[in-house]
Amino acid sequence: MSRDLATLPQITAAGLAALTPEVRDFLEGGAGRERTLARNTAAFDDWQLRPRLMRGLGEPSLATRFMGVDLDLPLLAGPLGADRLFHPDGQQAVARAAATAGIASMAPEAGSFSLEDLCAAAPAAVRFGQLHPTGSRDSFLRMLGRFEDAGFDAIVVTCDCPVAGWRERNRRNGFIPPQEVVGGNYPNDSETFQNLFSAGGTGWDWVTLGRAMRHTSLPWLAKGIMTEPDAQAALDAGAAAIGVSNHGGRQLDDLPAALNALPAIAAAVGDHAQISFDGGVRRGSDVVKALALGADVVILGRLIFHGLAAAGESGVLAVLELLREEISTTLTLLGHGGVADLDEQAVENRGV
């Protein structure tokens, strides 16, 4: 690994430097005054680690099983659309790097490449497909069927995006991702992703979503959950997993940090479903804290695309390998034999 890309902050700096100001704002920006965005990262500072020493443990195990698939790391590469804005290979590079690292990647509905092209780019990869409950039920079911026919392992339903958030950086820049970088799955002028999205998802509810998801045998994750009642509603609709997330602060401002919502949702869900988490993760120790507070896996968003912008596939792989090393080091120093035995005893809130 290059000394210039030897740490995650270096990769982030290199990735952001490679982008135009408009694309950088599109990636890094949040909704409104960006208070949710700031809270996401700041929340990790409120939680401290509680090490247990001299426990006679060997190298910690980072492997886990999530939604029926085995992962070498408790990580998923998240679905950011318009991916060719960050590198010509976009999500194809992400899928290949994720497969090399032994984790799953998510195919974005509004991606630059079709889901079939992503499958061809990394045929042995574990793949999750992303869907938005927007537009017509027929369009939703067509995409759902394509994911199943292509051999995807699970579906991620992004529930917190009935309309785009109020993103003022994009408004100031007059920036709208062009059709050629978001239309990989909707190449026809008669059914572009923008048209589907502009139709909105406000007519969808949990009952409608639950009925639609009965058309697939694939397990699905309801992503964007920030309250216990919504977690229960998602389970009642048939979700196999709950995604605790505030969309990286990109949708609704003035929400709590995703990390602070995690413990209560994990307690409410209990053993009824697995939990993914995203929001503000910037280091391996952040991953460990999220796992200790109830997550089974962590979805990586901006970090993945920092690596992609910095050095394509090798940049994404560098991010994943650095996280692997830091998670392992943190667990060893924390006195834990692996991600499976992390619980709330490993952390404490410094404000309590």
- Catalytically active residues, by annotation: 247
Give the H/E segment covering residue 21. helix 21-28
**Residue among 151, 80, 86, 66 nearest 111 (CA):** 80
Tokens linked to 322: 């650095």
Determine contact, residues 177/240, Cβ cutoff 8 Å. no
The annotation status of 281 as a binding-site residue, yes or no, is yes
Tokens 């200790």 sit on residue: 292
The annotation status of 245 as a binding-site residue, yes or no, is yes
The annotation status of 301 as a binding-site residue, yes or no, is yes
- Tally: H helices and E strands in the chain: 14, 12
The annotation status of 158 as a binding-site residue, yes or no, is yes
**Collapsing DSSP states into helix, strand and coil, what is residue 86?**
coil
The annotation status of 45 as a binding-site residue, yes or no, is no
The annotation status of 32 as a binding-site residue, yes or no, is no
DSSP result, 216-246: --S-EEEEEE-SHHHHHHHHHTT-SEEEE--
- 94 CB contacts (<8 Å, ≥6 apart)? 77, 83, 105, 304, 308, 313, 316
The annotation status of 247 as a binding-site residue, yes or no, is yes
The annotation status of 335 as a binding-site residue, yes or no, is no
Map 153-204 to HEC letters. CEEEEECCCCCCCCCHHHHHHCCCCCHHHHCCCCCCHHHCHHHHHHHCCCCC
Tokens linked to 300: 């990586």
DSSP result, 93-145: HHHHHHHHHT-EEEE-TT-SS-HHHHHHHSTTS-EEEEE---S-HHHHHHHHH
Per DSSP, 23 falls in state H
The annotation status of 137 as a binding-site residue, yes or no, is no
Residue-level length of the chain: 352
The annotation status of 81 as a binding-site residue, yes or no, is yes
Give the H/E segment covering residue 150. none
The annotation status of 302 as a binding-site residue, yes or no, is yes
- Which residue positions form the known binding site for glyoxylate? 167, 247, 250
Residue list for the binding site for FMN = 79-81, 130, 158, 223, 245, 278-282, 301-302
* Residue set of the binding site: 79-81, 130, 158, 167, 223, 245, 247, 250, 278-282, 301-302
